Structure 1
Amino acid sequence: KAAMDAATEIGLAVVTTTMTLVAVFLPTAFMGGMAGQFFKEFGWTAATAVLASLAVARLITPMLCARFLQSHPQSPPSWIMDTYLDIARLALKHRLITSLCAALFFVGSILALNSLPREFVPASDNSSTQVIVELAPGTPLSTTNAIAELVRQKISVIPEITNIFTTVGTGNSDKHRGPGVSDFRNANLTIDLPPVGQRERSQAEIEVEIRSILGNVPGARFQVGSRQTGEILLINLTSEDAQLLHQTAQNAMTELRGVPGLGNVISNASLLRPEIFIRPNMARAAELGVTASAIGETVQVATAGDYSAALAQMNLPQRQVDIRVQLPLSTRQDLAAIEQLRVPGAHGLVPLAAIAEVSMGSGPAQISRFDRSRNIRIEVELGNLLLGDANALVRELPSLKRLPLGVSWVDTGDSKMMNDMFSSFGVAMVTGLICVFMVLVLLFKDFMQPITILAALPLTIGGAVFALFIVDASFSLPAVIGLLMLMGIATKNSILLVDYAVVAMRNGMDVHDALLDACAKRARPIVMTTLAMTAGMLPVAMGVHEGSSFRMPMGIVVIGGLLTSTVLSLIVVPVVFTYVLQAKELLARILPHGHAVETAS
């Protein structure tokens, strides 16, 4: 009978709490943009799990209580409960002071939230990083191998490094060089670190030291880090004027390298490589019956070789080797020999020098475009800075703050995703609040009491923000997920208090006694559920395992918000309840048919 009575007594509170959680989590599954891709599974999973917990609370838990719990004499109230009730009486006696303190706490929380450093996703610590070495186009294998060995020797002095695996050369997809031909100007060093619990420094701190060590290695460009989300600030410049774009990018990179705290600054503007320029005299070529395609094919076969699919093949044991026609290297570097190449024309073979000007020069190895415009993408390693701080500093640089006419900065990468996430988060918060309010109105059959319940939500922000400050964490995507969780969890405390107080008032108690009785009877389950949730999130907040850097801010936010909202809601919500009740009585006197706004449950 006790189990059935208890299930009946908290029935409305359990259903209301469950529906508010669903109303908070489910809208996040329909968020758009990149942020929506992160929240889609979270929203559906959380909403489904909460609905399943409702079945457990209404069916399985009462059965288990009836089977296993034993009756025992009721113990007298502890000194903790007596102290809390004294504080609650004092808060109800000085309602204005209590309300002002709560309002100041909320304003301070918002100001502190705006001062938190921001980033999209915390940089991960996977106990592994890499160094990418890029040399000038045309660099031979021996030189690249020597530079890679020099880099390996320099970074080997770092005590945390346990293993270095070096790869020299990369596959090349250039159709003019043929499949499988390697580009020997690149090298990759994969670096292994001890597990997180076996070293004092983080992976990011070790990467900062690697950058400082490699800063004095000349003639090479370095990329340090796994290039994962949360490690790179992307600056995407576009223009139709290639020369102006290149000059603007160079000026920006020069200024970026002077910003303290940032790591390496590189761009996708390829290094210049030696080239043979052939400028046909089309009038002369037309007289001799030579086409532009004939010139191009002749030069390609002579310099890069013939890679057509119909190549002749030499049969060897168990394999076939393509027979490729190409001038020897010494001849390819001789302009006089290139000028004497014979190009087929309408009246026979014609020397290349007779129809074109041949000269040596240099040019980019590749041309990048974004949305059909010339593009240079600058990648800035964040180093000691977070994405939000780095983005704010970069946008104040003169070369990027006042871009030349014809050059545009297209917002892409982590910075754009971070801005989209915070915008989508605001929409999800408002949508969740509206859904929660509608659910509470339907369940309580009252438009005013939901305001009392929602009063606990602002109190969660302060605890979450101050918890992030204490551990020196940033406001990022997992912290946003934690705030969304708090929106649903924090209303639980208010629902338990308000539901009990409304029932007590319906049974004849006055407002003051009903609120104090609700505080006395519901404080223990409120504190117990908060402690259980805190204990469950504690391993997440401690982040002692590899790959836990993403989940850690979420746990910190939930624990901080739960603790402060629990303590403050037990004091502030009864005060808000009295104000809402007075507002209802005032509306009942002002509005016709005022009896329609009376509480019904």
Structure 2
Amino acid sequence: EDLYEYTVKTVGEFKYVSEVGDVLLTKDDRQQEQARTSKQLRKESSRRTGGIIYLRDIAEVRESIKDATGRSRYNQRESISLSVFPQSGSNLVAMSKLVRAKLKQIEVKIPKTVNVEIIYDQSDFIKSSLHNIYFDATLGGILSFVIILIFLKDLAAALIILVALPISILAALSMMYFAGISINTMSLGGLALGVGMVVDNSNVVLEGIFAYLQKHPDKSKKEIIYEATSRQVVSVIASTLTLIAIFLPFIFVSGVAGQLFKEMALTITFSMVASIAAALILVPRLALNLDFERYKKQDTSMKILDVFPPMLTKFLAAPRGKTWRFLYGYLIIGLILFMFIPKEFMPKLDERRFTLNVTLPPQTTLKVTTDLGKKIENYLFSVPEVKNVIVNIGSSGEDIGAEVESLGMNQARIIGRLKKRGRSTDKIVAELGEELKHWRVDQMETEFITQQGLFGSSLGSSAGLTIEVKGNNLVELEKKSTEIKNELAGMPDIYGIKTIPSQLVPELKLDIQRERASLFGLNVQDISATLLAAIKGYVATKFKEREDEYDIRVRLRPEDRSDLSRMGELTIYSPFGRNIQLAQISDLKFVKSLPEIRRIEGQRTYLIMANTGKGFSKTVARVKKAINMVISPDDNVTAEITGEMLALRESMNSAVFALALAVVIIYMILASQFESLILPLIIMITIPMGIIGGVYALFFSFNSINSVSMQGMIMLIGLVVNSGIILVDRYKIARTEEPGRDLVELVIECTVERLRPILMTTLTTILGVLPTALAVGSNATAPMAITIMGGETFRLVLTLFFVPSAYLLIESAKKRD
């Protein structure tokens, strides 16, 4: 025995629940027992008869279910809901696949009477968006190929140009990999938008080869290809550089918009760089395999090409003051329409899903919140578009961490999933908001969330409208905030109004008299611990059954803790051996206090958040008037509209700066390419033509001006100058080759000669983005595609007439000088 050491283990676990009641209690304080001598304890033990107290003598020991702190319902039936959240930076689509695979393994062990269903998967929207972009890009490529085939009237030539498309996309994907850009909605959207653009350079080069072949049929095939391609190098590089240059300002676009569109800008830039190599190297090499003898005899005439020359001749012969009035009117009307187009920060994507957060007064019980949730649930099922309804009230009460928001028993989260067809989500949500107003539930606050996908958290708030009311006096802040909230409640286009901090929270306040408490050997910590154990309960230990553990919670009976007015009768045991009532050492009173005091830039702030219907900018104007009526300049309170309005203002300011910077960069590129300060000005008259064309497209398609459409206008600056570059470059080369020829005849001939490549490049761009433009509501880049389509369409018509007219005007002015 002296050579070994043994571990002594004391086992005192409960084997049965009934054993908990056998726990022996004593009236003596432990500290007093330790102070007594063993002789005194033996004397007292011999005198103690019948003084043994067991736990079962003063308490009821029973098995029970933990107090419910939440409810979950699915399609009007009780359910158990489980939410799975991805970690920051993780791939949501990959996580969804793993969860689904794991569920299949678990379902084997679950009874057949239990139904497991995935009611919402955010990755579904992401996969649907990516699928739509794949489809749009493919369809855009097919439409571009059809246009090329119609103009060239030869399958082999059309296939040569089409080869540039997959090569440019593959090269762009390779550069995306090295740049660390993932395949996502914005990067793929950039590839889809660039489908029609990447073949433009190849169009220009191949059409130039055919045009040179018609003029010089006696030269050898290699000479024709070399000399024709050499003529196009300047225009191809200049037009591509201008398009790439417009993406440089995207670096300076601040906020969420800059982060979102930076990847799109880089993707398009990569594909355009690859298209230069494809046009100047690959297309000439593949053109060597064409049968030039057949092309010399081929009839390439088209009706539109025959109609255009007399129209251009008549236009140039008319007085410039008369013809240019049309352009002035076009621009002025466009500027007027710009003022009437609604403006918002981001386009609304209809995900066929919405979330309604309901908050009742803090003292509301779980039953009251549940009854209201059922009422809303029943109303939603009367709406024909509603497919499923999920209601979550409160939470499990477990510690789920700060990353996941938990609900109180006075809060409900209602998620509605809609059928694919029917009224829009915004209309249904607006109707629900109006219906909840009519219910007149006291102190109920609602919050609607309709954006969960791409732009769901871009504003940091689910509400489109946020008002910051700032001041130092909390009473005055609360008063003014309530007045503003009441004004908003009377506006028909505003619903889901919520204030932060919310209404005052009632609470039982305990003012402890420290001096009296110290006389009994009590401190604040002892009193707080006693109160917590009495009301909420104290987990003394755990009962273990096989591998499961259950809390053993000690607390007062329901009848003893349900009446808050009796809290003063609560007994606290003093270390000095006396029982003290709580009312003897403290003052109890009911008060109302703020749940939080929020500060922004060092000032106390109330936040008023609300959802808005259509016409965000008009609604903001009405809200500003209401604020000015409530808050006067003499008040010590200020109010500012933030949220989407602030993001919109920042986005517009940065977009205007990016537009101006893009114009300057393009002018510098053109000036260096043409070695002239005047010729770039002729080309740049196409910029306002294209931008105003985009405004017309947005107005007539009932779209808003937002961050996405503004990026489309920036892209238009690089696109619309391409035709002007092709024309002016051709004019310059022709004047060098034929200096003594009549200028008007030369301009008309060169314009007609370049009409085919201009039509081909413009139509391939327009049809390339057409599928994306038609996907309004499901594709985030649809407003950008609509803007590009409108700008390119209007610019095409105006460029063919006004660029020749402007060139003649400049040249005639030079002669006069």
TM-score (structure 2 length as normaliser): 0.65
- 1:432-581 to structure 2, matched below 5 A, reads 432-507=662-737, 508=739, 509-543=741-775, 547-548=778-779, 550-581=780-811
1:7 match: 229
Q: Which moved more, 1:452-461 or 1:35-44?
A: 35-44
The 3 A distance-change label for structure 1 pair 76 and 149 is closer
2:34 match: none
Shift of residue 36, structure 1, vs aligned partner: 1.8
Name which of 249, 261, 266 aligns with 1:27.
Answer: 249
The 3 A distance-change label for structure 1 pair 278 and 202 is same
Name which of 363, 375, 392 aligns with 1:150.
Answer: 375
Name which of 305, 321, 333 aligns with 1:96.
Answer: 321
Q: Deviations for 1:136-184, whole angstroms, at most 9, x for unmatched residues? A: 3233333322221211111211111122222232356899xxx999732
Shift of residue 347, structure 1, vs aligned partner: 11
Shift of residue 127, structure 1, vs aligned partner: 1.4
1:599 match: none
Matched residues in 1 for 2:483 and 2:339: separation? 32
Shift of residue 31, structure 1, vs aligned partner: 2.7
2:617 match: 388
Is residue 2:448 matched to residue 1:224? yes
Shift of residue 306, structure 1, vs aligned partner: 5.0
Is residue 2:545 matched to residue 1:321? no
2:287 match: 65
Q: Contact 2:253–2:651 (CA<8 Å) still a contact in 1?
A: no
- 1:320-469 to structure 2, matched below 5 A, reads 320-332=549-561, 333-338=563-568, 340-342=570-572, 351-383=581-613, 385-397=614-626, 398-399=628-629, 402=632, 405-469=635-699
Q: Contact 2:386–2:419 (CA<8 Å) still a contact in 1?
A: yes
Q: Contact 1:171–1:183 (CA<8 Å) still a contact in 2?
A: no
1:38 match: 260
The 3 A distance-change label for structure 1 pair 328 and 386 is farther
The 3 A distance-change label for structure 1 pair 510 and 272 is same
Q: Structure 2 counterpart of 1:374, which letter?
A: R
Q: Deviations for 1:246-299, whole angstroms, at most 9, x for unmatched residues? A: 111111110001112222212233344431012344565677776555554444
- 1:160-175 to structure 2, matched below 5 A, reads 160-170=385-395
Matched residues in 1 for 2:622 and 2:398: separation? 38
SS in 1 for 2:309: helix
Q: Structure 2 counterpart of 1:221, which letter?
A: E
Shift of residue 358, structure 1, vs aligned partner: 0.6
Q: Which moved more, 1:108-117 or 1:208-217?
A: 208-217
Shift of residue 119, structure 1, vs aligned partner: 0.4
Matched residues in 1 for 2:304 and 2:482: separation? 66
SS in 1 for 2:702: coil
Matched residues in 2 for 1:313 and 1:293: separation? 24
SS in 1 for 2:550: strand
Q: Structure 2 counterpart of 1:577, which letter?
A: Y
1:270 match: 502
Q: Which moved more, 1:534-543 or 1:334-343?
A: 334-343
Is residue 2:256 matched to residue 1:51? no
Matched residues in 1 for 2:546 and 2:330: separation? 82
Q: Contact 2:255–2:650 (CA<8 Å) still a contact in 1?
A: yes
Matched residues in 2 for 1:34 and 1:148: separation? 35
Shift of residue 480, structure 1, vs aligned partner: 0.8
Matched residues in 1 for 2:784 and 2:396: separation? 41
Matched residues in 1 for 2:470 and 2:500: separation? 12
Shift of residue 568, structure 1, vs aligned partner: 0.2
Shift of residue 460, structure 1, vs aligned partner: 1.0
Name which of 244, 253, 260 aligns with 2:492.
Answer: 260
Q: Structure 2 counterpart of 1:379, which letter?
A: M
Is residue 2:310 matched to residue 1:86? yes
SS in 2 for 1:275: strand
Q: Contact 1:541–1:556 (CA<8 Å) still a contact in 2?
A: yes
Q: Deviations for 1:404-458, whole angstroms, at most 9, x for unmatched residues? A: 7333335532211111000000111111111111111111111111111111001
Is residue 2:440 matched to residue 1:212? no
Q: Which moved more, 1:24-33 or 1:501-510?
A: 24-33
When Rg is computed on C-alpha atoms for both structures, the one with the higher figure is 2
Matched residues in 2 for 1:547 and 1:379: separation? 26
The 3 A distance-change label for structure 1 pair 389 and 21 is same
Shift of residue 216, structure 1, vs aligned partner: 2.7
Q: Deviations for 1:87-138, whole angstroms, at most 9, x for unmatched residues? A: 3223323222233332332232222212211001122101112333322323
Between the two proteins, what is the percent identity of the paired residues? 25
Q: Contact 1:448–1:584 (CA<8 Å) still a contact in 2?
A: no
Q: Structure 1 counterpart of 2:234, which letter?
A: L
Q: Deviations for 1:40-93, whole angstroms, at most 9, x for unmatched residues? A: 212222222211111111112223333246514254855533432233223323
1:592 match: none
1:234 match: 466
Shift of residue 365, structure 1, vs aligned partner: 4.1
In the alignment, structure 1 segments of 5+ residues that lack a partner are 590-601
Shift of residue 328, structure 1, vs aligned partner: 4.0
The 3 A distance-change label for structure 1 pair 559 and 337 is closer
Matched residues in 2 for 1:412 and 1:279: separation? 40
The 3 A distance-change label for structure 1 pair 393 and 180 is closer
Shift of residue 578, structure 1, vs aligned partner: 2.3
2:362 match: 137
Matched residues in 2 for 1:539 and 1:444: separation? 36
Q: Deviations for 1:530-576, whole angstroms, at most 9, x for unmatched residues? A: 111111111111116x622x322112111111010010011111121
Give the number of equivalent residue pairs: 575
TM-score (structure 1 length as normaliser): 0.87
Q: Contact 1:234–1:412 (CA<8 Å) still a contact in 2?
A: yes
Q: Structure 2 counterpart of 1:156, which letter?
A: F
Q: Contact 1:106–1:461 (CA<8 Å) still a contact in 2?
A: no
Matched residues in 2 for 1:52 and 1:543: separation? 28
Q: Contact 1:276–1:361 (CA<8 Å) still a contact in 2?
A: yes
Q: Contact 2:385–2:418 (CA<8 Å) still a contact in 1?
A: yes
Q: Contact 2:505–2:595 (CA<8 Å) still a contact in 1?
A: yes
Q: Structure 1 counterpart of 2:262, which letter?
A: K
Matched residues in 2 for 1:499 and 1:170: separation? 70
The 3 A distance-change label for structure 1 pair 437 and 149 is same
2:53 match: none
Matched residues in 1 for 2:750 and 2:490: separation? 61
Matched residues in 2 for 1:24 and 1:78: separation? 34
Matched residues in 1 for 2:606 and 2:284: separation? 65
Q: Which moved more, 1:179-188 or 1:136-145?
A: 179-188
Q: Which moved more, 1:224-233 or 1:28-37?
A: 224-233
Q: Contact 2:393–2:407 (CA<8 Å) still a contact in 1?
A: no
Q: Structure 1 counterpart of 2:495, which letter?
A: G
Q: Deviations for 1:281-330, whole angstroms, at most 9, x for unmatched residues? A: 456567777655555444444444458xxx64333332333444544444
Q: Structure 1 counterpart of 2:550, which letter?
A: V
The 3 A distance-change label for structure 1 pair 345 and 474 is farther
